[in-house]
């Protein structure tokens, strides 16, 4: 415990993980985090509260892998400054929390919060931070107010009344010194998934967990009946919530198109989207001739207003002879990010008579997505033939049209 006492003196960075990866079975299987409350997703309300707390340095969002682009879109329409990453959740809550923690920078304190609690307030967050600084681990909770009955069996007859003295209903946020969290997870190991919250893991490791005041208003939206209640509570707060997207200015979404065509010759490699595909001909080009990567680069540069591929990677420059075009794409993404923008989605149409590309498209999408820094669902590739018409249709060239959006 001596080292914990030393940690209590530190006042370093504070990171937040907001978990919204679960689908609500009681809400008809919809993504709970994106359910609308007063025209704003639950996730948006929750992040607004943490953004408003000065002590919070960075926030990581954990959402379903198919909602990563939606979460970034929400970030782009909000006045958030602290969201540093959006990551895909795991198959259990603990794995989701783990992914989120891994994406945080080096933080002394980590707050974990459920996106399904959209009405958390800055005051609750500040109380949690203060309590975790003092005790190492702290959980928001409220005293149990209802009388509790125990019943077993199908008849649901009451067996006994549970003494509610000393009983608390746990909420989130739960705030931990990061050293306490890692010690607890190391001790508990794989059994961590048995616990329904992070404080449970810390308790099981025999480490102290303090309670700080949550609030009845910090309710969890788990049932359709909860929404009208949450709406009424939010309205009662008046102007306390951040304006929703429709009330803001229209977000600046940048769109760019790209086009490229490369001739095919024997004795060359056929590389599309970073994937080498066995074929009797391959692309003629100064680089590796990856016509899909080139069209995507032009779409990105176009959306960012940064010119075209030739102006950044000139065809007469010997440095780019035989270059890996995915590396050029990585550099183009770097230029886009340096200009304050971020890739959102890419859609491309590859016009190619042969070979058939369907089997290779999943790998192309994966490679493009990882280079673009987006989820694979944010990259779409369509393959078409040219019906035997002109040079593309005769199999002497492959052309690609691409469209990219940035935010
Ligand atoms: Mg080209």
Distance CA 32, CA 23 (A): 6
Residues 357-376, mean pLDDT to the nearest whole number: 95
pLDDT at 15 over 90: yes
Query: At 8, is the pLDDT very low, low, confident or very high (cuts 50, 70, 90)?
Result: very low
pLDDT, tens only, 98-146? 899 999 989 999 999 999 999 999 999 999 999 999 999 999 999 998 8
Q: What letter does residue 305 receive in the DSSP assignment?
A: T
Interval between CA 5 and ligand 1 midpoint (Å): 60
Asked whether the bond before 173 is cis by omega within 30 degrees of 0, the reply is: yes
Q: Which residues, 6 or more positions from 279, have their beta carbon under 8 angstroms from its beta carbon?
A: 270, 354, 355
288 C-alpha to center of ligand 1: Å? 9
| Residue 32: partners with Cβ closer than 8 Å, 6 or more residues away | 20, 22, 23, 24, 42, 115, 116, 221, 222
pLDDT at 5 over 50: no
| Res 247 pLDDT > 80 | no
Tell me the per-residue pLDDT of 39-53, one tens digit each, with 9 for 90 and over. Answer: 899 999 999 999 999
Maximum average pLDDT range among 10-14, 55-59, 233-237:
55-59
Q: Give the number of C-alpha atoms closer than 13 A to the C-alpha of residue 229, restricted to the C-beta side.
A: 14
Q: Does pTM surpass 0.75?
A: no
Residues contacting 124, CB < 8 A, separation 6+:
49, 140, 173, 212, 213, 214, 215, 218
Lowest mean pLDDT, pick from 156-160, 329-333, 372-376: 156-160
Q: What's the gap in Å between 354 CA and the centre of ligand 1?
A: 19
pLDDT of 246 strictly over 50: no
Quote the CA–CA distance of 200 and 21 in Å, as a whole number: 20
> pLDDT: is 154 or 275 the higher one?
275
Distance 392 CA to ligand 1 centre (A): 15
Residue 9's pLDDT band, with cuts at 50, 70 and 90, is: very low
Residues with CB under 5 A from ligand 1 (ion): 260, 294
Residue 91, φ and ψ in degrees, nearest 5: -85, -10
Give the distance from CA 116 to its chain's centroid: 16
Q: Measure the CA–CA gap between 134 and 5, rounded to whole angstroms.
A: 9
Write down the pLDDT at residue 152: 81
What spacing in Å lies between the alpha carbon of 261 and ligand 1's midpoint? 6
Share of the chain above pLDDT 90, in %: 68
| DSSP 3-state of 85 | strand
pLDDT higher than 80, residue 242: no
350 Cα: distance to centroid of ligand 1 (angstroms): 13
Rounded mean pLDDT, 326-351: 92
Query: Angle at Cα 93 formed by Cα 207 and Cα 109, nearest 5°?
Result: 45
Q: With 50 as the cut, is the pLDDT of residue 4 above it?
A: no
Task: Report how far residue 322's alpha carbon sits from residue 315's, in angstroms, rounded to the nearest whole number.
Answer: 10
Tell me, what DSSP letter sits at residue 249? P
| Averaged pLDDT for residues 269-287 | 95
């Amino acid at each position: 415990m001596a080292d914990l006492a030393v940690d209590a003196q530190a006042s370093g960075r504070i990171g937040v993980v907001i978990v919204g990866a679960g689908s609500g079975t009681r809400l008809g299987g919809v993504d709970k985090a994106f359910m609308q409350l007063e025209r704003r997703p639950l996730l948006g309300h929750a992040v607004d509260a943490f953004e408003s707390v000065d002590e919070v340095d960075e926030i990581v969002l954990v959402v379903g892998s198919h909602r990563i682009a939606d979460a970034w879109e929400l970030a782009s329409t909000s006045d958030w400054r602290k969201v540093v990453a959006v990551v895909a959740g795991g198959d259990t809550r603990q794995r989701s929390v783990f992914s989120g923690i891994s994406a945080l920078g080096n933080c002394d304190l980590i707050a974990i919060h459920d996106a399904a609690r959209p009405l958390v307030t800055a005051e609750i967050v500040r109380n949690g931070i203060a309590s975790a600084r003092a005790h190492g681990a702290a959980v928001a909770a409220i005293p149990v107010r209802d009388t509790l009955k125990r019943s077993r069996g199908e008849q649901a007859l009451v067996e006994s009344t549970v003494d509610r003295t000393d009983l608390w209903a746990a909420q989130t946020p739960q705030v931990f010194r990061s050293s306490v969290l890692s010690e607890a997870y190391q001790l508990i190991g794989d059994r961590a998934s048995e616990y329904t919250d992070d404080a449970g893991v810390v308790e099981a490791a025999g480490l102290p967990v303090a309670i700080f005041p949550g609030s009845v208003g910090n309710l969890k939206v788990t049932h359709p009946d909860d929404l009208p209640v949450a709406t009424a509570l939010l309205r009662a707060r008046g102007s306390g919530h951040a304006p929703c997207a429709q009330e803001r200015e229209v977000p600046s979404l940048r769109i760019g198109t790209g086009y490229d065509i490369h001739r095919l010759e024997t004795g060359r490699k056929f590389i599309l989207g970073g994937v080498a595909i066995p074929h009797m001909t391959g692309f003629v080009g100064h680089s590796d001739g990856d016509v899909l990567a080139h069209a995507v680069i032009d779409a990105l540069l176009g959306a960012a207003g940064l010119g075209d591929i030739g102006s950044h990677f000139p065809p007469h420059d010997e440095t780019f002879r035989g270059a890996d075009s995915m590396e050029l794409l990585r550099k183009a993404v770097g230029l886009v990010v340096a200009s304050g923008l971020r890739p959102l989605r890419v859609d491309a149409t590859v016009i190619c008579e042969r070979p058939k590309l369907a089997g290779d498209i999943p790998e192309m999408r994966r490679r493009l997505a990882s280079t673009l820094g987006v989820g694979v669902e944010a990259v779409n590739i369509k393959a078409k033939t040219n019906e035997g018409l002109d040079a593309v249709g005769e199999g002497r060239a492959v052309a690609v049209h691409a469209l990219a959006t940035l935010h």
